[in-house]
Amino acid sequence: MIVASPSSLYSDLDVSAQVDAPLAAHTWFGIGGSADLLIRPRSPEALATLARRCRRDGIPLRVLGSGANLLVDDEGVDGVVVKLDTECFQRVDFNAEGLVERMRVFGGASMEKLVQECARRGLAGIEPMSGIPASLGGAIRMNAGGRFGAIGDAVDAVTVLGMDGEQRVYTAAELRFGYRESNLPEGIVLWASLRVAPDDPMACRERVKEIFAYKKSTQPMSANSAGCMFRNPVMGDGTRVSAGKLIDQARLKGTRVGCAFVSQEHGNFIAIDRKADAPARTDDLRGLVDLIKARVLAEANIELQTEVVFWRRGEPA
């Protein structure tokens, strides 16, 4: 719940704020309700003060990145949603500390734009993120990546703003990146130092094109989806099996619940049908997720876990 006078949270801060802000347009699914309060800080100091006040008043605070890995409930979400899309949170400092092998990327920066700019400058190391829509903060927290590598491979250090408003730096030696996870503590990724290597710009661009072309040939990248819905589960011998393969074997491609359907191209992609007769609802997608999990559990005795983040009123931020 927001306090009786929500403006007391931010009226003296350098932010823009919107009450009852629709979130659908901020997500790749393009569905879902509103945030009680959407705030765009214009400085790290304003963000830190806001975090402290939310913690003081027991108000949930969530960070909205690119919206590519997010489903917002039809009833919206309580508390404060922060979007780091102002200039200070999208900055990229190439040659950080005078080193061509390091760059400092702030949490709201677009990974898609970063990949292209690094290729243009002839800086190798970020190409595995080609075709992955994410902000830097979200990418690091979930160690976004694929068969070509993950963002954690390039991380040198990460600065996290805690919910107490304090900044803490974590070096590569303190960080652990696994499959779709990291050991970063609770908080907001302010910036990260990434390792890159000087290379021929043309060679960098060719690698980006090759990776993107592969993803385009195997994934429905133009669909209204959030990428892979489920994590690839670990088998008893420690190996991972493709969630898409399990869904395919369960004969679920094309399965539909309302406006939501399983892609015919890739079983681990759930998309939204914009031409459906009824309005698109997040409940449809949730229902399809539950159906898939139940079928795979019944046929393969494997419990799938979602990779997409679900936001819902009354649930922890």
Long-range contacts from 173-179, C-beta under 8 angstroms, 24+ separation: 177/143, 177/150, 177/151, 177/152, 177/153, 178/143, 179/143, 179/231, 179/232, 179/240
The distance of Cα 307 from the centroid of its chain, to the nearest Å, equals 10
In the numeric block, which tokens belong to residue 7?
A: 């403006």
Q: Is the pLDDT of residue 32 over 60?
A: yes
Predicted pLDDT at 216:
82
Q: What HEC string does 224-261 produce?
A: CEEEECECCCECCCCCECCHHHHHHHCCCCCCEECCEE
Checking DSSP bridges between strand 225-228 and strand 269-272, what pairing results, if any? Answer: antiparallel
Q: Known catalytic residues?
A: 180, 228, 307
Predicted pLDDT at 280:
81
> What is the CATH code of the structural domain delimited by 220-311?
3.90.78.10
Cβ neighbours, 10 Å, residue 177? 19
Choices 3.30.70.2200, 3.30.300.30, 3.30.465.10, 3.40.50.2020: CATH for 90-216: 3.30.465.10
**Do 7-87 and 220-311 agree at the fold level?**
no
Digit-coded pLDDT (tens) for 33-58: 999 999 999 999 999 999 999 999 99
Digit-coded pLDDT (tens) for 129-181: 998 889 999 999 999 998 899 999 999 999 999 999 999 999 999 999 999 89
- CA dist 249 and 299 (Å) reads 9
Residue with tokens 């876990």: 305
- Please state the domain extents for the chain: 7-87, 90-216, 220-311
Choices 1.10.645.10, 3.30.1360.230, 3.30.300.30, 3.30.43.10: CATH for 7-87: 3.30.43.10
Query: What is the DSSP-derived secondary structure letter of residue 56?
Result: H
Predicted pLDDT at 27:
93
